[in-house]
Structures are given as structure tokens and as C-alpha cells.
């Protein structure tokens, strides 16, 4: 089932024609209405007329998160304030938040994109969709809400947290779809198992995103809740959730490339990389009215997959995000992504582990500690068994990333649970 077959299954030439036309219109709009971009294009010696098609995209300058901060709050808007009907902002742990505005048409486009995604996951007007992403400045809750409504599903706008109530409504209302972060889904799965209520639930589909997650974590959630788990990707600067989504083939996420043109670049040099190579994902939004972005550097590392998918869609796909170029930890010269540690843990752990990485610097030497939460079963087992588990985890991490980590097994339920995005890393080196 497709939501918009004409575009989702368009041939390349048609897609590029649509992209080129929209790109050209967008550039004219920003040149006229956004002083920041007019200056930037002038500096690069480019006028909108120089960009004839998507093939000229690489000539345009990049936009980075700092540009949004420097123009806080509304400096990048391309429409007057009376056309802006919604504002979202990302919290940002450092500096000012990044603010994104939407016109009525932008919200329409966002709901259309989410509706395509929901349909990809098999969600329809026969479903009851529980939205456990946070509602508020974060785009997850409202983005999913209007998208599921667009396909006619019955939406439960419960927002994140309050696990007891989540499970009660899930059971009483017979929710068939759950949308939340994968770390919260893991926690829900854990609680469902602990309460022995799986048979009382009608869940079939999970729409999980907003943070990286591993295949191992997917299997844990799918097996424990007996659902199919789909990856949804997005970032507030572009729209929020629904920039891309997995179909039933689960072989990369289809990008809504008639709205957001993707490129992969070498994060060091900015050079565009060919399809299939891993690098930083960059998006140019070609239909957004309130805040169009030219070649926005997401910092997310992935690769693009071209070619018709088995589902019939032809849109370019992105592989699961393997990390962010700014999340990558460099420990004693070794590049470490939290997702690699998670994979190493999951190979020896039969459930989705709760863990935390703590990086310290002692006498100029970086150390990595991995705190792993024990299950009740392990906690009550022999010390020897826990020691064996610890050794297997340690060996696995060393063989996977080539770095020694000290492993600390901690009590069940002692690490913080997340209702939104999980905080996996505590890097004490910058303090």
C-alpha cells in the first residue's frame, strides 16, 4: 500500500525534474526573503539562476546548526510572522535552542510525509495509534499525532512517560500501534514481560525513532512485544519525524526526497560522496515555506541506497544512522560509537540491556567504563556466573572496537530509564 504512489514510485527522471523545479523556486524565495542566505550566496558568487537543476546542488554553500543559533530565534524565516502558525524548538544541551517555524502549508506537507510513513508501516484507519513521543516543543508527539490522524487512525495522545497508564490504556483501548523512542519501547517491553500482560495486548506495529538503535535492540523489542518494529527518522530543523521511514522490507529508510534532497558528504572536506559510501547526511528542503534550509549538515552518519526497493518504491533510502559525527567518542585515538558498545553487549545479553558509558581522563589517559545493569535473574545468580558474564562482555567489546573497557555490573533498575531519548554517554573529559 502506498499513500502517494505517483511520487513514491516515480522514476528517477521524473523525481529529478520535480526536485529541480522545486529547488529553483525555493532558491528564488530565500534569495529574496532571507538576508542571511542572500549574503551567503553572494559570497559564493552564486545567484539562483546559476542553479539549473539538482546536479548543481553541490555548488551551494552548507548551512550548519550554528547558523540557526546565530540567527535565533526567527532570523532564517522566509515568510512574515503572520504566516507562521507553529513553532518548535530543539532543547540543545549547549547554547541557544534551534527554532523552527511552520506555515499552514508546511504542516500540511509534514502530515502528508508522516502519512506516507504510517502507510509504509501498514498503519491505516483500522488502527489505534498510541503516541508516546513527547508532545511540546519536541516534534515527535505532534508530528506523529497529525500524521496518524491523516491516515484515519484513532490517535491516543498520551505523550511520553507514565508507564503504568501507557500499559493500562494499551490494554483497555486495544492499541495496535505504539510510537515512541526505541529506548522507551525497550522499557515498555521489559515492563510488559515483568507484569506478564503480553497476551492482553493487541499491538502489531511499532514506529520507533528519534535516536539510533541497533538490530539487536529491534529483535528484542519485536520478540518481546510480538510486533514488527519500523525505523522512522527525522530532525526538527528539517520537519521532525517522517523525513524517512522503513517499509516492510526493512532495508533502509525511504527518504521523502521530493521535499528533502539528500546528499552524503565527507565530513572533513565537504566533498560529495558517491551513493553507497558512508558519510554525513545533508538535506536541502525544497518545499518548506517558513524556514527552508540549503544543504543543512545533519551530523548524522549513514549511506544512501539507490534502486527500486522490493516494496516497489523508488525513493532513495538511507541506511540506519550509525552515529553522529559529533557523538563519536574518541578514546585513546579509537573512534567509538555508543551503538557499537550496544551491539557488543547484546551479543552476550539475552535482553535489551540498560547501560551507560562513562569516559574519564586520568593523567592524560582516557578511560572507558561501561555500566551494565543486571537482570533480576543475574542478580540472584552465583558470583561466578556474574563474573563470567562480565568477562564475556569485556572480551566482546575489546574484539569489536579494539579498546579495553572496564565493566561494572550494577543492580537491576539502578540506571536511569528514559521516557524520551536515552542518555547513554557521560563524558567527564570536557568538564
Rounded Cα gap, residues 402 and 359, in angstroms: 16
Least separation in angstroms between residue 70's CB and ligand DLL is 18
Segment contacting ligand DLL (CB under 6 A): 9-17, 207-215, 343-351, 392-400? 207-215
Q: Which of 20, 90, 166, 396 binds ligand DLL (CB under 6 A)?
A: 90
Least separation in angstroms between residue 150's CB and ligand DLL is 16
- The bridge status of strand 128-131 relative to strand 154-156 is parallel
Q: Which of 83, 324, 371, 417 binds ligand DLL (CB under 6 A)?
A: 324
Q: Does 140 interact with ligand DLL (rule: CB under 6 A)?
A: yes
Closest CA to 320 of 373, 253, 368: 253
- Answer yes or no: are the C-beta atoms of 81 and 98 closer than 8 Å: no
What angle is formed at CA 169 by the lines to CA 149 and CA 222, rounded to 5 degrees?
Answer: 80
Q: What Å distances lie between residue 45 and 13, 39, 71, 101, CA to CA?
A: 29, 10, 22, 28
- Give the residue closest to ligand DLL by C-beta: 209
Rounded Cα gap, residues 331 and 217, in angstroms: 24
Rounded Cα gap, residues 214 and 408, in angstroms: 22
How many chain residues interact with ligand DLL (CB under 6 A)? 20
Segment contacting ligand DLL (CB under 6 A): 102-110, 232-240, 254-262, 379-387? 232-240
Name the residue nearer to ligand DLL (CB basis): 20 or 284.
284
In the block, cell 540543545 appears at: 92
Please say whether the dihedral angle defined by the alpha carbons of residues 88, 92, 97 and 100, taken in this order, is positive or negative. negative
Least separation in angstroms between residue 364's CB and ligand DLL is 30
Name the residue nearer to ligand DLL (CB basis): 43 or 326.
326
Peptide bond into 132 cis (omega under 30): no
Name the residue nearer to ligand DLL (CB basis): 27 or 232.
232
Least separation in angstroms between residue 298's CB and ligand DLL is 5
Name the residue nearer to ligand DLL (CB basis): 37 or 133.
133
Name the residue nearer to ligand DLL (CB basis): 176 or 298.
298
Closest CA to 232 of 267, 208, 255, 251: 208
Least separation in angstroms between residue 265's CB and ligand DLL is 15
Binding residues for ligand DLL, rule: CB under 6 A, are 90, 133, 139-140, 209-212, 231-236, 240-241, 298, 300, 321, 324
Amino acid at each position: 500500500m502506498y499513500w502517494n504512489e505517483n511520487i513514491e514510485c516515480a522514476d528517477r527522471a521524473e523525481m529529478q525534474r520535480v526536485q529541480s523545479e522545486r529547488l529553483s523556486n525555493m532558491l528564488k524565495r530565500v534569495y529574496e526573503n532571507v538576508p542571511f542566505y542572500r549574503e551567503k550566496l553572494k559570497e559564493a558568487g552564486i545567484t539562483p539562476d546559476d542553479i539549473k537543476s539538482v546536479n548543481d546542488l553541490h555548488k551551494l554553500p552548507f548551512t550548519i546548526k550554528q547558523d540557526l543559533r546565530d540567527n535565533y530565534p526567527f532570523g532564517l524565516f522566509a515568510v512574515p510572522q503572520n504566516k507562521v502558525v507553529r513553532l518548535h524548538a530543539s532543547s540543545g544541551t549547549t547554547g541557544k535552542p534551534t527554532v523552527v517555524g511552520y506555515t499552514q502549508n508546511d504542516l500540511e506537507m509534514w502530515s502528508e510525509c508522516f502519512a506516507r510513513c504510517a502507510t509504509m508501516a501498514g498503519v491505516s484507519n483500522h488502527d489505534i495509534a498510541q503516541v508516546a513521543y513527547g508532545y511540546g516543543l519536541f516534534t515527535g508527539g505532534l508530528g506523529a499525532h497529525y500524521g496518524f490522524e491523516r491516515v484515519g487512525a484513532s490517535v491516543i495522545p498520551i505523550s511520553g512517560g507514565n508507564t503504568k497508564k501507557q500499559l493500562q490504556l494499551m490494554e483497555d483501548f486495544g492499541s495496535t500501534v505504539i510510537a515512541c523512542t526505541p529506548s522507551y519501547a525497550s522499557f515498555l517491553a521489559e515492563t510488559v514481560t515483568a507484569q506478564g500482560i503480553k497476551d492482553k495486548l493487541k499491538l502489531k506495529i511499532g514506529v520507533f525513532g528519534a535516536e539510533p538503535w541497533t538490530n539487536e535492540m529491534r529483535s528484542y523489542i519485536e520478540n518481546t512485544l510480538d510486533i514488527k518494529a519500523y525505523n522512522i527518522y527525522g530532525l526538527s530543523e528539517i520537519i521532525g519525524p517522517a523525513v524517512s521511514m522503513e517499509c516492510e522490507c526493512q532495508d533502509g529508510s525511504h527518504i521523502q526526497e521530493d521535499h528533502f534532497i539528500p546528499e552524503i558528504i565527507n565530513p572533513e572536506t565537504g566533498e560529495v560522496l558517491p551513493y553507497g559510501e558512508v558519510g554525513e547526511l545533508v538535506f536541502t528542503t525544497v518545499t518548506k515555506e517558513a524556514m527552508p534550509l540549503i544543504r543543512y549538515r545533519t551530523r548524522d552518519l549513514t549511506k544512501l541506497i539507490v534502486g527500486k526497493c522490493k516494496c516497489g518504491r523508488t525513493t532513495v533510502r538511507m541506511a540506519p544512522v550509525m552515529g553522529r559525527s559529533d557523538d563519536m567518542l574518541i578514546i585513546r585515538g579509537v573512534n567509538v560509537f555508543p551503538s557499537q558498545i550496544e551491539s557488543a553487549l547484546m551479543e552476550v545479553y539475552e535482553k535489551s540491556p540498560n547501560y551507560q558509558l562513562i569516559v574519564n581522563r586520568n593523567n592524560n589517559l582516557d578511560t572507558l567504563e561501561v555500566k551494565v545493569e543486571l537482570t533480576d535473574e543475574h542478580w540472584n545468580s552465583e558470583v561466578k556466573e556474574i563474573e563470567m558474564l562480565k568477562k564475556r562482555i569485556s572480551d566482546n567489546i575489546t574484539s569489536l572496537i579494539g579498546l579495553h573497557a572496564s565493566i561494572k555490573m550494577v543492580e537491576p533498575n539502578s540506571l536511569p530509564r528514559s521516557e524520551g531519548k536515552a542518555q547513554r554517554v557521560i563524558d567527564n573529559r570536557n568538564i
